[in-house]
Amino acid sequence: MARTGVKIPRPPPPPEKLSDLLQECTIKAAYEDQNEGSYDDALKHAAKGYDEGYSAWRKIMRALDLAYIITHFGIDFAPKPRVHFLHRKLLEVADSEHLCDLNLEGIVEFFDDVCPCGKKHQPDAIRKLRKRRGKPAIKSAEAS
C-alpha cells in the first residue's frame, strides 16, 4: 500500500502592517480594560493632536502593547484591570435601581463579593469614592 503524503499548508506571509499582527477588537478590549473611556473616543481625541491628543495616543500605545502580549502570550500575562476604573463601575452597579436600597455596609459587602481586585474594601474609601462621583452620602447601619 502506497503512502500518500499530507500536504503541509504554506506559512502565512510575513506581516506588512500593524493590522496583520493585532486584531482591532483585541486592541479595543485591552484599551477599555485599562482605561475609563471608550476606544473610539480615544481615537477621536488622538486625532486632535496637542495635549489632549497626545495623552490619548499614549493610552492607545499602552493598549497596543497589552494587545500584543495577549495575542502572543495569552490572557494570563495581561495585567489586572485598573482598580479605580473597576470600583467606579461597581459603584454604578450598586447605585442602580436594583441595589439602591443598600446601606454603606451592604455596598462594602457587595464590593468584597464581586470585585476582582482582591483587596478588602473599606466603608470610608467607598464613601469617599461616592462623594467624588457627586452622589449623596450613604447612611451606615450604625447611623440608621
Can you tell me the distance from the alpha carbon of 55 to that of 33, in angstroms, rounded to the nearest whole number? 17
Average pLDDT over residues 52-64: 92
pLDDT at 42: 92
Query: Per-residue pLDDT tens for 86-129?
Result: 788 888 888 877 777 778 888 888 888 888 777 788 888 888 77
At 101 the pLDDT is 77
Q: Which residues contact 5 (CB under 8 A, 6 or more apart)?
A: none
pLDDT given for residue 133 in this prediction: 67
Q: What is the mean pLDDT of residues 67-87?
A: 80
The x, y and z cell numbers of residue 92, run together, are 454604578
47 CB contacts (<8 Å, ≥6 apart)? Answer: 53
pLDDT band at 134 (very low <50, low <70, confident <90, very high): low
Give 40-51 pLDDT, tens digit per residue. 999 999 998 888
- Tell me what pLDDT residue 39 has: 92
With pLDDT > 70 as the criterion, what percentage of the chain qualifies?
A: 86
User: How many other C-beta atoms are found inside a 10 Å radius of the C-beta of residue 132?
Assistant: 10
